[in-house]
């Protein structure tokens, strides 16, 4: 880590966007003690504390928040300058921190990120998968790939792919139990329930012509917090599931599952990428967004 006015600004921009000194040290590829020492030198030069340290995390002081805001603006201007120069050679470089939900990340985002890096080897992508929702405003993440609306007005969203949740069953289940003719008949079927984010999806939502969105309470003898598990149970003919198209589209296409109640639409659950609003979005970020949009639509947008 070099030392100087410009280097100090870029250094603190990364520190301020990190969730801990450990994360900042990982970003720089140095020890935590090296980051702490560099931060102490910066604070001594400015004559004010910039962060309040705790055992695992830190918070910015009022002076630290002012310095971080200015550092972010200057870092963005520098990045824009370098992007404009590199654009002449059609070269993408730099690091991207991407966050995604676990199921979507494993099924699609990880493959698409690997494809992107293969095309642009000077770009490094750090992909984190998590089941726990996170508002990335004020964090070090560049993109958050998720299903549903924006969690924060400080963020901008780009819809990557249209998606909705549909009811599915295995052909063997339909052969043995028949298919519900309308949503009221779901009460007569074994509905496999997904428990997600500490809540059960016991309410399945549909859009009826005369009533609008309707929530139907379902029940069954199988419950899990893992989407892959409930899908496997469904494939084994044990009951009905409601899953996103991003998960079950390939299984519908090869006939392993069939859609139940295809004539009754469900609310949209589109896939979005959220990112912190900025005057200028780095070229590598825009390029990854375009790649994810094209890739997701090629994989699941045709069903």
- Which tens digit of pLDDT belongs to each residue from 149-207? 766 566 788 999 999 999 999 999 999 999 999 999 999 999 999 987 555 558 899 99
Q: Which helix (H) or strand (E) holds 259?
A: strand 258-260
Give, in words, the CATH class of 5-85.
mainly alpha
Query: What pLDDT, on a 0 to 100 scale, did the predictor assign at position 235?
Result: 97
Give the tens place of pLDDT for each residue, 43-63: 888 888 888 876 567 888 888
Q: Give the Cα separation of 184 and 192 in Å (integer).
A: 16
H or E element, residue 228 = helix 227-235
Residue 59 dihedral angles phi and psi, to the nearest 5°: -125, 150
Domain residue limits, the chain: 5-85, 92-162+270-300, 165-260
Beta bridge partner(s), residue 276 = 155
**Predicted pLDDT at 210:** 78
* Predicted model pTM: 0.71
User: So what CATH class is 92-162+270-300?
Assistant: alpha beta
- Decide yes or no: CATH 3.40.50.2300 for domain 165-260: no
Predicted local confidence at residue 36, as pLDDT: 87
92-162+270-300 matches 5-85 in CATH topology? no
What letter would DSSP give residue 106? I
Instruction: Give every residue of the chain whose pLDDT is below 70, as ranges.
Output: 1-6, 54-56, 79-90, 133-140, 150-154, 197-201, 277-280, 301-303
Q: Which residues pair with 156 in a beta bridge?
A: 275
């Amino acid at each position: 880590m070099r030392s100087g006015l410009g280097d100090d600004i870029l250094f603190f921009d990364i520190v301020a966007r990190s969730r801990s000194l450990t994360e900042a040290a990982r970003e720089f590829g140095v020890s935590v003690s090296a980051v702490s020492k560099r931060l102490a030198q910066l604070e001594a030069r400015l004559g004010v504390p910039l962060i309040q340290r705790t055992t695992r995390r830190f918070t910015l002081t009022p002076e630290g928040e002012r310095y971080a805001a200015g550092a972010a603006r200057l870092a963005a201007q520098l990045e824009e300058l370098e992007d404009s120069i590199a654009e002449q050679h059609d070269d993408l470089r730099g690091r991207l921190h991407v966050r995604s939900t676990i199921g979507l990340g494993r099924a699609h985002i990880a493959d698409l990120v690997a494809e992107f890096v293969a095309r642009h080897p000077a770009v490094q992508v750090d992909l984190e998968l998590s089941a726990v929702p996170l508002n990335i405003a004020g964090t070090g993440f560049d993109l958050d790939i998720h299903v549903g609306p924006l969690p924060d007005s400080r963020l901008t969203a780009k819809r990557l792919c249209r998606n909705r949740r549909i009811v599915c069953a295995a052909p063997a289940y339909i052969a043995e139990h028949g298919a519900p003719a309308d949503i009221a008949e779901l009460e007569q079927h074994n509905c496999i329930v997904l428990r997600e984010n500490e809540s059960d999806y016991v309410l399945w939502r549909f859009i009826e012509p005369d009533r609008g969105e309707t929530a139907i309470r379902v029940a069954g003898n199988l419950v899990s917090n893992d989407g892959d598990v409930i899908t496997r149970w469904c494939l084994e003919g044990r009951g009905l599931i409601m899953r996103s198209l991003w998960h079950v589209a390939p299984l519908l296409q090869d006939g392993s599952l069939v859609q139940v109640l295809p004539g009754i639409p469900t609310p949209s659950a589109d896939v979005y990428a959220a990112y912190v609003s900025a005057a200028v979005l780095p070229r590598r970020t825009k390029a990854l967004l375009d790649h994810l949009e094209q890739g997701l639509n090629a994989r699941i947008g045709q069903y």
